Structure 1
Amino acid sequence: MTLLDSDVWSGRFFSGGWRSSASEQPVLEPATGDRLGTIGVVAPGDVRRAAARAAEAQREWARTSPQQRAAVLRRAGELFTRHAGEIEDWLVREAGSVRAKAGFEVGLAIGECFECAGLPTHPQGEVLASQEARWSLARRRPAGVVSVIAPFNFPLVLGLRSVAPALALGNAVLLKPDPRTAVSGGVVIARVFEEAGLPDGLLHLLPGDGSVGQAVVEAPEVRVVSFTGSTAVGRAIGEQTGRLLKRAHLELGGNNALVVLPGADVAKAASAGAFGSYLHQGQICMTTGRHIVHESLLDDYVAALAAKAEALPVGDPAREEVALGPIIDRRQLERIHRIVSDSVAAGAKVAAGGEIAGAGYRATVLTGLTTDMPAWQEEIFGPVAPVVGFSTVEEAARIVDDCPYGLSVGILGDVGTAMRLADRIDSGKVHINEQTVDDEPNAPFDGVKASGTGSRFGGAAANIEAFTETQWLTVRPDIADYPY
């Protein structure tokens, strides 16, 4: 039996073992529309029962030794390593990933598990000064039950980056993957932790629609909600958790800028820009959505970027050597084309692409834009590179910040000038002489403004802040004297 043998999960969901579901939905391959299997989907009642079981199991897990929790995370990392090829196959077929992106995602998953294996023994408190004759401590304790709601684009790692640290720090988890990637973003994680020896009841895989998403937020046992997805849905979850007095960690959309400074190497800059805009068909929150190029380089940059775009083949990554795979579904594909078409109707020019290609979209370069056009204003979530020029660093800073999002910025060129620009812009991440897409398990991952609620992913400090509560504890050697 392989790790992802469909006999284990077909028509089932994971909640204290693999359970038969009252309803099912097909697992589809976006490149072809072929049926890859059938996943069990849950109802709000299943969520309520799972949350109750999770709360009960979590109390014992929190008392488990740090070494035992760390061992589960290490075994999970080893299992991801051992089954990497099988998992990559699912990312290619179900998520439409090209093989290189799938391998990168599995590599991040492996790193996440090994990085989180250090969390159980990481210092989780401090000794405080006190005016009284006592010991005073601030200590971190598990939050309890954590709900993780993950998207379709990097389904494995964007779920695991919350699941792994939450479990490592002594919590139980309700995982709701995007229904379009319920295997690579859900079944994979459940099977790995099942085989790694995670005790029953701590991880629940709960695929379903919006009512299930609402249920995993509202369950009384849930104390923390970790959501990655659109800004619109994130706002709704933030309102919901605020009303319920729960913490929400929201990593949302982005319309990320790549600034090409005067004197930059145009060939290298175009290579960076193409990678930033076209990796995984532009379906990444950190995708380069705005290219801001100094006027002295603008024409050369557009020509170089357009040449790269025209050379990138689009197709089925499971059956062809392609650079761009399918868009996740027809609705999103048509949305991308509508944004491009509306921008062209408003006066933008297509320097490359601009066409639907089967289930995918050709790598596209747009010029002649004004900053009020849809392709400049909106998060496209497709392989589209809009390019505008600038004359001064002050103008570049203004264009970068004239955007509701603040997730990631890349700056290419002179490091001194880039640092001065970095000091002026409002972004959760700034990469100098790199494009906008990057992630490492030990680095904080955050966005500001409409891109999220700040650093709640990656690195020991962010993970401990995200998935634990602080308790003040005082201890005296004898009972204190009081004036009553």
Structure 2
Amino acid sequence: MDGSLAEFLDQSVWTGKVYIDGWNDGTGGTEAVTAPADGALVGTIGRATARDLARAAASAAAAQPAWEATAPEERAAILNRAADILQANADELIPWIIRESGSIPPKAGIEIEHSAGFLRAAAEAALEPRVLALKSVDGREAEEQLIRVAHGVVGVISPFNFPLILSIRAIAAALATGNAVVHKPDPRTPISGGVMIARAFEDAGLPSGLLHIVPGGAEVGAAMCADPNIAMVSFTGSPEVGSRVGEACGRNLKKVQLELGGKNALIVMDDADLDIAASNAAWGTWLHQGQICMATGLILAPVAKAAMLAEMLATKAHHLPVGNPAMDACALGPLIVEAEAKRIEAIVEDAVAKGATLHVGGKAKGTMFPATVLSGVKPGMRAFEEEIFGPVAVVVAYTDEAQAVELANMSDFGLVGSVIGSDVARAKALGMRLKVGHLHINDQTVTASPIAPFGGRGRSGNGSRISGPAIWEEFTQYVWVTTKPAATPYPF
């Protein structure tokens, strides 16, 4: 980045460093961060090892009790200041997000605004009552309370696709409820997913020792799941890695929160406006190249309308240029790595070989993958079964509502379902038959809110939630306290 972008995210402060009690050298050396669009150098960060993780966890454990004892109003004020700082520096930060994650500018702007929203929602949650009075049932006239207390140190592991949002939503929730945090961002996006957050909290006045950023590989994640100073791990990522995180945390008796993705169905009902349905399907499928856990993975349409809907989507796809969002006016940027583009190309080829129709797209060029439309997709094809995590619209025809529900519920995932139709009551009744954690009537699947619990069923996670009322449910635990006016004797 040029010197004009150096005031807040000054590279001289963090280049080659990890964030453990301030900016320091990691024991794993340094690592270059490159842009997925063209391979250009974005920056250089420090690389942490398991030894660094242990040092960070010990520091966090030492700092946490004083933070939990800090007045909620003070914790909230720091969170709100961090939100202010992100928004005030948006013009500087957005270009970093664009280059590092391959985001188009509007998506990068969403990251800033939604991250600020998560911080402000967590600040509000910090002020909520954490004590619940209980009625004594044994006649001892004791005062009984349930008090929510912090776990201690929370480990956070975040992915590359929305690196700022998907890091800060857990970090903010943990800090709001009195925990300290050790955070491992995705090694491909450690600036947006780590450096920005550390700098925002530094300037917001977060006391030392409460937030540590440890960029690194699987070794660091494994150490996080085993370290005795870390009481909980919040993980967002793939089901394959998430299952290993869950197993490791279970083996070490840690609380674990898993948000693992989805194969999300958008059901177009027979009374839906097809123009509006196509618009919703296009946005849900192609936003950020489909690299979103909430992306529309299946577009279910009545047999009589499926072909027309596919053609409408193909027309839209032709008008969505792919390019380097740091330099080009484009609707789709790059996928995170070329291997992902090749994997998605193989999914498209499998569908075509098994009888699906390819309307547009389907071929990778490096990390670039165009908006793609497949129709005639059926169970048994990879495009139907797998979370594609790429810009492929998968149109599936159904004969009646029962089959639409059956097709949507075939997935092992259970994150989001959407239904579009003119009869709202009928659409909602159908939607409530879907096995999902989020249901949207007359909207597409990529919808989230800082005040709504986020999470899903099945391979989409372990039933845990994040944000809204789930902040206190997930990031604290109950202590049952009884208080008698004076001690009394027992018959022994």
Q: TM-score, normalised by structure 1?
A: 0.98
Bigger Cα displacement from structure 2, 367-376 vs 439-448: 367-376
- Could you give the per-residue CA deviations for residues 177-202 of structure 1, whole angstroms, max 9, x where no partner exists? 00000000011111101111000001
Q: Does 1:341 align with 2:354?
A: no
Q: Is there any run of 5+ residues in structure 1 with no aligned partner, and where?
A: none
Question: Contact 2:418 / 2:431 at 8 angstroms: preserved in 1?
Answer: no
Aligned counterpart in structure 1 of residue 453 of structure 2, from 441, 444, 448: 444
Bigger Cα displacement from structure 2, 411-420 vs 396-405: 411-420
The equivalent of 1:428 in structure 2 is 437
Q: Does 1:457 align with 2:466?
A: yes
- Could you give the per-residue CA deviations for residues 371-401 of structure 1, whole angstroms, max 9, x where no partner exists? 1101111111100011111111111110010
- Could you give the per-residue CA deviations for residues 230-258 of structure 1, whole angstroms, max 9, x where no partner exists? 01111111111111111100000211101
Aligned counterpart in structure 1 of residue 99 of structure 2, from 87, 90, 93: 93
Bigger Cα displacement from structure 2, 280-289 vs 290-299: 290-299
Q: Helix, strand or coil for the counterpart of 2:304?
A: coil
Letter in 2 for 1:439: A
- Could you give the per-residue CA deviations for residues 124-180 of structure 1, whole angstroms, max 9, x where no partner exists? 121001122110000101110000000000000001010001011110001000000
Deviation at 1:417, TM superposition (A): 1.8
- 2: CA distance between counterparts of 1:423 and 1:315? 39
Q: 1:276-315 alignment to 2 at 5 Å?
A: 276-315=284-323
The equivalent of 2:273 in structure 1 is 265
Q: Helix, strand or coil for the counterpart of 2:231?
A: strand
Q: Helix, strand or coil for the counterpart of 2:275?
A: helix
Question: What do you get for the CA RMSD once the two structures are aligned?
Answer: 1.0
Q: Does 1:127 align with 2:133?
A: yes
The equivalent of 1:66 in structure 2 is 72
Deviation at 1:358, TM superposition (A): 4.4
Q: Does 1:115 align with 2:124?
A: no
Letter in 1 for 2:478: T
Percent identity over the alignment? 46
Letter in 2 for 1:236: R
Deviation at 1:103, TM superposition (A): 0.8
- Could you give the per-residue CA deviations for residues 314-373 of structure 1, whole angstroms, max 9, x where no partner exists? 000011111000000111111111111122122221111112244310100001222110
- 1: CA distance between counterparts of 2:68 and 2:450? 23
Q: Helix, strand or coil for the counterpart of 2:407?
A: helix
Deviation at 1:66, TM superposition (A): 1.1
Q: Does 1:391 align with 2:396?
A: no
- 2: CA distance between counterparts of 1:177 and 1:233? 14
Q: Helix, strand or coil for the counterpart of 1:369?
A: coil
Q: Helix, strand or coil for the counterpart of 2:164?
A: helix
The equivalent of 1:235 in structure 2 is 243
Q: 1:151-166 alignment to 2 at 5 Å?
A: 151-166=159-174
- 2: CA distance between counterparts of 1:228 and 1:91? 19
Question: Contact 1:314 / 1:357 at 8 angstroms: preserved in 2?
Answer: no
Aligned counterpart in structure 2 of residue 37 of structure 1, from 40, 43, 47: 43
The equivalent of 2:24 in structure 1 is 19
Deviation at 1:119, TM superposition (A): 1.9
Q: 1:395-414 alignment to 2 at 5 Å?
A: 395-413=403-421, 414=423
The equivalent of 1:208 in structure 2 is 216
Letter in 1 for 2:129: P
Letter in 1 for 2:425: G
Letter in 2 for 1:95: S
- Could you give the per-residue CA deviations for residues 79-116 of structure 1, whole angstroms, max 9, x where no partner exists? 01101122211110000000111111111011111111
Question: Contact 2:414 / 2:435 at 8 angstroms: preserved in 1?
Answer: yes
Deviation at 1:203, TM superposition (A): 0.3
Question: Contact 1:315 / 1:358 at 8 angstroms: preserved in 2?
Answer: no
The equivalent of 1:53 in structure 2 is 59
Deviation at 1:454, TM superposition (A): 2.2
Q: Helix, strand or coil for the counterpart of 1:481?
A: coil
Q: Helix, strand or coil for the counterpart of 2:394?
A: strand
Q: Helix, strand or coil for the counterpart of 1:386?
A: strand
Letter in 2 for 1:40: G
Letter in 2 for 1:6: Q
- 1: CA distance between counterparts of 2:68 and 2:425? 48
Deviation at 1:425, TM superposition (A): 1.3
Deviation at 1:263, TM superposition (A): 1.7
Letter in 2 for 1:2: E
Q: Helix, strand or coil for the counterpart of 1:411?
A: strand
Bigger Cα displacement from structure 2, 354-363 vs 67-76: 354-363
Q: Does 1:363 align with 2:371?
A: yes
Deviation at 1:46, TM superposition (A): 0.7
- Could you give the per-residue CA deviations for residues 252-272 of structure 1, whole angstroms, max 9, x where no partner exists? 021110100002111111010
- 1: CA distance between counterparts of 2:388 and 2:52? 35
Letter in 2 for 1:386: V
The equivalent of 2:13 in structure 1 is 8
Letter in 1 for 2:440: H
- 1: CA distance between counterparts of 2:8 and 2:176? 22
Bigger Cα displacement from structure 2, 163-172 vs 408-417: 408-417
Structure 1 residue ranges, 4+ long, deviating more than 6 angstroms after superposition: none
Deviation at 1:455, TM superposition (A): 4.1
- 2: CA distance between counterparts of 1:290 and 1:223? 37
- 2: CA distance between counterparts of 1:361 and 1:69? 44
- 2: CA distance between counterparts of 1:273 and 1:369? 16
Q: TM-score, normalised by structure 2?
A: 0.97
Q: Helix, strand or coil for the counterpart of 1:301?
A: helix
- Could you give the per-residue CA deviations for residues 189-227 of structure 1, whole angstroms, max 9, x where no partner exists? 111011110000010000001000101111101111100
Q: Helix, strand or coil for the counterpart of 2:170?
A: helix
Q: Helix, strand or coil for the counterpart of 1:360?
A: coil
Deviation at 1:480, TM superposition (A): 2.3
- 1: CA distance between counterparts of 2:69 and 2:432? 45
